[in-house]
Amino acid sequence: MRQMFDSTVERLFADLASPAAVLACEDGPWPQAMWTAVEESGFPLALAPEALGGAGASWADVCGVIRLAGRFNLPLPLPEAMLANWLLGAAGLAPASGAVTVAGAGALRLRDGVVSGEALDVPWGDAVPLVVAVTGGAEPAVVLLPTGAASRREGANVAAESRATLLFEGVAPVAQAPLPAGWPADVLLLGGAMVRAAQIAGALEGVLALATAYAGERVQFGKPIGSFQAIQHQVAVLAEHAAAAVMASEAAFAAADTRIVRLQAIAAKICASEAAGIGAGVAHAVHGAIGFTHEHSLHLSTRRLWSWRSEFGSASAWSQRLGRAVCAAGPEGFWPGVTDGRFDTLQEQRA
């Protein structure tokens, strides 16, 4: 299934998400035709159970799809929709009809059948009609909310992708169900971190290809700059970090069977976020001045790398949580925590 998914989506994204098409989406209207093509492919429902109309794919099956979304700078919430429909299916709810996103941060409460509170930095929150969130309190619930019923503070990340804050006041969910027993209330924050790690890995693969090609084409002092040891070293550093991000995200997706494994997801986001900053810097250094121009496609990836590295938790935020958990486990709990894939004290609410 993985090979079929990857080959299909690569052809789809190559047709839909050319650099010119991605650039045209910035500060423009919602690209409905592009979303329709993606929706018709069925990938937003890939992780939903077959019994509910999805493909019943595993996280390992779709890691390549999400990496390709990052590599092609797809200006759509496809990874968020896949995460949203996965959680809806896990809660026994039907997948969302149409475009949907997730709220990984904020404070929402379900009381007397209505939801109130704030969802922060919701990807494409001002464009899509539905958002999946997990309410807080003693009995967390998975809720599907209409974004049109919320008041909004519109915003955007460095890549000009919509990031809106939604304020709900007594809004009735379109659907709701208890969060599966034993699942952490920050499951969407954790899932979003894992998804962003894969997107970063894909974007790094893209900038590595650009940097390698440019180093072989750009001639200085009578020979390609890629023949100079300093440039070779920089490209090698970029390749090293791209490979590390790929392996970390692949490991996290492979470990996520019925549930996302917290330690692997955190490690993937830390590794990918660190690689994003280093990789973007190296890519621009290799390209020189031309890489900073609006006409060159490099910025489509590097601006996303700079944005995605801090979304759904930055490297420093996750590193602090991981460090506190390791210290709390003590020397006797360290190795069991590593080999079991978790630390008990990581099961904390989102900060």
Per-residue pLDDT reduced to its tens digit, 297-315: 999 999 999 999 999 999 9
Alpha-carbon distances, residue 282 vs 63, 236, 244 (angstroms):
25, 10, 15
Give the pLDDT score at 114.
96
Give the pLDDT score at 342.
62
Is residue 190 within 8 Å of residue 260, measured between CB atoms?
A: yes
Query: For the chain, what is the mean pLDDT?
Result: 93
Task: Determine which helix (DSSP H) or strand (DSSP E) holds 229, and give its type and residue range.
Answer: helix 229-255
**Residue linked to tokens 């998804």:** 195
Quote the distance between the C-alpha of residue 72 and its chain's center. 14
Residues whose CB falls within 8 Å of the CB of residue 101, separated by 6 or more in sequence, listed in order? 77, 80, 81, 84, 122, 123, 124, 125, 128, 130, 131, 132
**C-alpha torsion sign, points 340, 342, 343, 347:** negative
Q: Could you read off the pLDDT of 48-75 as tens digits, one per residue? A: 999 999 999 999 999 999 999 999 999 9
* Residue 267 reports pLDDT greater than 60: yes
The confidence band for 341, taking pLDDT boundaries of 50, 70 and 90, is low
CA pair distance 163, 153, nearest whole angstrom = 9
Task: Please name each of the domains of the chain with its CATH number.
Answer: 2-178 (2.40.110.10), 187-346 (1.20.140.10)
**Residue linked to tokens 């492919």:** 41
Q: Which of 221-225, 242-246, 309-313 has the lowest mean pLDDT?
A: 221-225
**Average pLDDT rounded to a whole number, residues 255-269:** 91
Quote the distance between the C-alpha of residue 180 and its chain's center. 22
Residues whose CB falls within 8 Å of the CB of residue 337, separated by 6 or more in sequence, listed in order? 263, 325, 326, 329, 343, 344
The structure tokens listed for 201 are: 């890995």
Q: Could you read off the pLDDT of 102-142 as tens digits, one per residue? A: 999 889 999 999 999 999 999 999 999 999 999 998 899 99
User: Could you give the angle at which helices 59-71 and 2-16 cross, rounded to 10 degrees?
Assistant: 20
**Average pLDDT rounded to a whole number, residues 155-160:** 94
CA pair distance 62, 212, nearest whole angstrom = 27
Q: Is 141 helix (H, G, I), strand (E, B) or coil?
A: strand
* Residue 350 reports pLDDT greater than 60: no
The structure tokens listed for 310 are: 């801090």
Percent of the chain with pLDDT over 90: 83
Q: Which residue in 192, 210, 211 sits closest to 200, CA to CA?
A: 192
